[in-house]
Amino acid sequence: MTAVLSLLPPGSPGLLADVPPGGCEDLAHYLATGGCAPLPAPGRLVDRIAAAGLRGRGGAGFPTAVKLRTVRDAPGGPPVVVANGEEGEPGSVKDRWLLRHRPHLVLDGLRLAAAMTGAARGYVYLSDDLAEHAVRRALAEWHAPAGRQAPAERAPEVPVDVVRTERTYVAGEETAVVRRIDGGPALPTAKPPRPFESGVGGAPTLVANVETLARIAALHTHPGSAGAIAGSHLVTLSGGGGTPALVEAPAGTHLKTLADLSGYGRARAVVLGGLFGGLYGAGWSDLRLDHEELAAAGGALGCGALHFLHPDDCPVAAATDAADWLAAQSARQCGVCVSGTSALARALTAVARGEPDGSTVANLERWSRQLPGRGACGLLDAAARMVATLLTHYPERIDAHRTSPCLPCTAAPPAAHRYTVAVP
């Protein structure tokens, strides 16, 4: 069972609302707590978002206000706004939780994004059955008698469609989102153009992560807490020896605090920010939830998924599992990604089995430097970073695997993939 916890000070507005277990916040409750407040001056909200320093929560951490203004000012007709709820990282549950339990918060953020950009249409993009049901029910509430009694200025201002996709690692990449909404496969395309230049139907398109939109809505409802709302993060904790958890934590929270909270305090290492962030060994407990600090340490906050390695876990096995999974998730449309991820996975498997040849480790070092940036999306980069961080933080473990197999590496794989977390 995945726990849901908050580290925010008592009384602080957060995203992890007190909804019934397995339940979903309805429209009446959302309106009663200040949701869907009128937006008389969209430009002022963009300015507040910029002043608060809100960054996207999809992985890249791009400044949200810059993205909003870019789409607003782009030529090419009325923009389109998309709530991206396709959570491709296996160790992240935050977006599906929000869609399942707080769909009105997300839809309110989509409404506000449409107003700030001048969009004429909105989409909710997802792959989760329960999330789809919750979102469709939330949209239907606006057309029911109780919804029609809400103030007209609070109603969604653009038509919103729900688009379903298959859950894969690459399906949430922004150009894959656009391609799927336009009726094609959920696969990345070459860039440029990027969606803000030419997206859904050729229109400038804002593809915003679900948590990002939820924070826009919360920031609008609670302007006095804008900085705290923009600075807090939803993080998914998993690993060996503890209890998986979805946690809302303020920026600057030490990773050790998060680990202790869920029983992972004895961890020897952490996989940062989902598979894209790489593996961090000694000194991980001194790191904090901070984009710049994690980047300076060679990692990334990414989508906020943190996977802790128990002292009995082998970092080589963890990296091998990640590389294998990423190789299987390749869209198979970029030759360098197909060959690169497969080569990394095969070489790591050889190391894990104690069967590397004389060039295996040298090849891993070379590929981890040469492959990043050569694919159409971030999948190849994620595999290369996982290898690079393993080589940086655990060279002695690589050496120990050169001549003999490692028991944790050669043990039968668990029934569920090590990085998979159940949505609470």
- Residue 292 tokens, joined: 């710049």
pLDDT surpasses 70 at 153: no
Convert the pLDDT of each residue in 349-393 to its tens digit. Answer: 999 888 888 899 999 999 999 998 888 788 899 999 999 999 999
> How large is the average pLDDT for residues 58-63?
85
Report the candidate in 61, 5, 30, 35 with the shortest Cα–Cα distance to residue 301.
61
Sheet holding 121-126, edge to edge: 160-164, 121-126, 80-84, 205-209
Q: What is the pTM for the complete model shown?
A: 0.94
pLDDT surpasses 90 at 299: no
> How large is the average pLDDT for residues 159-177?
94
More confident residue, 137 or 406: 137
Convert the pLDDT of each residue in 200-239 to its tens digit. Answer: 999 999 999 999 999 999 999 999 999 999 999 999 999 9
Alpha-carbon distance 105 to 114, whole Å?
14
Question: In this prediction, what percent of the chain has a pLDDT beyond 90?
Answer: 68
pLDDT surpasses 70 at 413: no
2, 422 contact by CB (below 8 A):
yes
Model confidence at 335, pLDDT cuts 50, 70, 90, reads: confident
**What pLDDT was estimated at residue 150?**
59
288, 295 contact by CB (below 8 A):
no
**What pLDDT was estimated at residue 415?**
57
> How large is the average pLDDT for residues 270-274?
91
Q: Are strands 279-280 and 269-271 parallel, antiparallel or unpaired?
A: antiparallel
Alpha-carbon distance 130 to 305, whole Å?
21
Alpha-carbon distance 9 to 6, whole Å?
8
Mapped onto helix, strand or coil, the DSSP state of residue 301 is coil
B/e letters for 8-31, b = 16+ CB within 10 Å, e = fewer, are: beeeebbbbbebeeeebbbbeebb
